[in-house]
Amino acid sequence: MRIALDPQMLRTTPLLELPDVVAGMGYEWVELSPREDFIPFFKHPRVDLATVRALRGALASAGVGVTSLLPVMRWSGPGEDERRAAVRYWERAIQICVELGVDTMNTELNGRPEEPELAEAMFWRSLEELLPVLEREGVRLVLEPHPDDFVELGVPAVDLVRGIDHPLVSFLYCTPHTFHQGDDAPGIIERAGDLLTHVHLADTMDHTASDGLRYILNPPGTTARVHQHMDIGRGDVDFDEVFHALAGTGFDGVLTTCVFGWDERAEESGTSMLAAIRDLASRHGLPAETSPSAS
């Protein structure tokens, strides 16, 4: 098992200095999420191969491995122009992944929940174009249902991934999205079983509590999806329940710290989250951590 850091709160740290900062926080693994000077949200990657090679060297020097890249593109629409552009951006991101020596990419389903059938059709079209590229390069794809995607609930998302029926494609469960996925982490984890290869870990408040009045949004009836990515223990997610379920499925994948929104305490948060995850993993009998040198 590997425990990684999503360095979103370190996004202003120069890219080539990032590995040393991650190592200084005690992590041996990092998940490279969107940042403006690397692979931005919804845009073509901004990094050249020379910088990618320099980053690979910096990672090796720091003793930090990369579990995965996490591009987020509009590969499920809402329009065909957006979808075609997203596929082009994906192809470049795959190049970068291979150049870094990384074998896994995570992403969101994306698309619009108001038009789920159209979004799903575009998703499949993009997948049919990209799967041959992923197969050729030996890169795995891990899919996450995100609030405001064309599939938001956990069980239907697991079934969608299962229906892809491809050995390179698996499922990601994200704990800060627990209350948007149906508030049934154990049920979703059990249903995913061996399909579950990656978990994002952060806490969140239950936006459905108190008859939905914990958060008051205007205008009434807005479809905004409210959630947080906080340190474990600051919200309403039952992490003992989550880790018990993971242990029950024999989970031996990647656990990523993904706390956002507290940039001023980024390193403190990362350090405390690592300790909390290790404690939960130990108490629930999850496998020991694997270091980059042993993988």
Q: What is the pLDDT of residue 295?
A: 59
Rounded Cα distance, 219 and 9, in Å: 30
- Distance, in Å, from the CA atom of 87 to the CA atom of 111, rounded to the nearest integer, reads 14
Mean pLDDT, the chain, integer: 95
The pLDDT tens digits of the residues spanning 264-290 come to 999 999 999 999 999 999 999 999 999
By CB atoms closer than 10 A (0-12, 13-18, 19+), residue 190 is: middle
- Residue 105 pLDDT > 90: yes
pTM, to two decimals: 0.95
**Could you tell me the two tokens for 203?**
């806490």
| Domains delineated in the chain | 2-294 (3.20.20.150)
Task: Check whether 36 has a pLDDT greater than 70.
Answer: yes
φ/ψ of residue 238, rounded to 5:
-90, 95
Average pLDDT over residues 187-200: 98
Q: Render pLDDT for 127-137 as a digit per residue (tens, 0 to 9).
A: 999 999 999 99
Statement: residue 227 has pLDDT above 90: no
> Which residues lie closer than 8 Å to 248 by C-beta, 6 or more apart?
189, 190
